[in-house]
């Protein structure tokens, strides 16, 4: 952890040492450093870097990212950085496809200005209230987002969606329903671009 932080700080220092540092590079490195701190629950440090990134990105007027200004591409909506998924969601991933099916739990919540989950609710339990409850608990306690920013200030975003697949056994002939989930917590840190849906439904 310490080595990773030192590497990012060194990268930021190298960019800053240039006589005329590229605002694109400043925005990129500052965003990465902000994400590093945000994923470790150090929001004050994260915010300083996010604001530095925003200020640099706002100076970029001649480049677009997928047709969007750089500020919009980086901070236009919350971005999932980390979540510890409920244990057992992929317990049967190695079973033959004919023996399993995927049930998806869908959550909706607000991502606060600090990048945390607030007021979560189950939009679709995926056929099992227990799986939905365990998914909600895991996301509420462990998910961390890069918050949306407006004019360099982090703001809350309502209607953010998160989907969690569960691989479950198909019932055997004569049985009813699929096996219920057994879940606690299993470490699963998400990359900067998350595998789970985190669409902004503003």
> pLDDT tens string for the chain (202 positions)?
667 777 766 766 666 666 677 899 999 999 999 999 999 999 999 999 999 999 999 999 888 888 899 999 999 999 999 999 998 999 999 999 999 999 999 999 999 999 999 999 999 999 999 999 999 999 999 999 999 999 999 999 999 999 999 999 998 876 665 555 444 344 444 443 344 444 444 4
Strand residue runs (E) in the chain: 79-82, 100-111, 117-124, 144-146, 148-150, 153-155, 157-169
- Please tell me the predicted confidence (pLDDT) of residue 177: 57
Q: What are phi and psi of 178, to 5 degrees?
A: -100, 165
**Chain centroid to CA 136:** 14
**pTM for this model (two decimals):** 0.79
Six-digit token string for 59:
């100076």
pLDDT tens figures, 41-65: 999 999 999 999 999 999 998 888 8
Question: For the stretch 141-169, what's the b/e string if a residue is b when 16 or more beta carbons lie within 10 angstroms of its beta carbon?
Answer: ebbbbbbbbeeeebebbeebbbbbbbbbe
**160: its two tokens:** 């953010």
- Tell me if 89 sits within 8 A of 167, measured CB to CB: yes
pLDDT score for 190: 44
Kindly state the tokens that stand for 183. Answer: 């879940």
> Residue 73 has what pLDDT?
96
Residue % of the chain over a pLDDT of 70: 79
Question: Residue 51: its pLDDT value, please?
Answer: 96
Q: What is the DSSP letter of 127?
A: T
Rg (CA), the chain: 20
């Amino acid at each position: 952890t310490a080595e990773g932080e030192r590497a990012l700080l060194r990268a930021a220092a190298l960019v800053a040492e240039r006589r005329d540092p590229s605002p694109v590079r400043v925005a990129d490195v500052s965003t990465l450093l902000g994400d590093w701190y945000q994923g470790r629950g150090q929001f004050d440090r994260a915010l300083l870097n996010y604001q530095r990134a925003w200020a640099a990105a706002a100076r970029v007027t001649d480049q677009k990212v997928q047709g969007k200004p750089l500020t919009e591409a980086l901070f236009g909506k919350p971005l999932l950085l980390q979540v510890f998924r409920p244990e057992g969601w992929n317990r049967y991933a190695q079973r033959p496809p004919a023996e399993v099916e995927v049930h998806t739990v869908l959550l909706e919540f607000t991502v606060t200005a600090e990048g945390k989950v607030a007021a979560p609710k189950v939009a679709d339990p995926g056929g099992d209230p227990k799986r939905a409850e365990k998914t909600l608990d895991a996301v509420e306690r462990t998910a961390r987002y890069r918050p949306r920013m407006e004019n360099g200030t982090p703001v809350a975003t309502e209607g953010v969606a998160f989907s969690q697949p569960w691989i479950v056994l198909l019932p055997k002939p004569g049985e009813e329903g699929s096996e219920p989930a057994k879940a606690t917590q299993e470490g699963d840190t998400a990359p900067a671009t998350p595998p789970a849906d985190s669409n902004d439904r503003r």
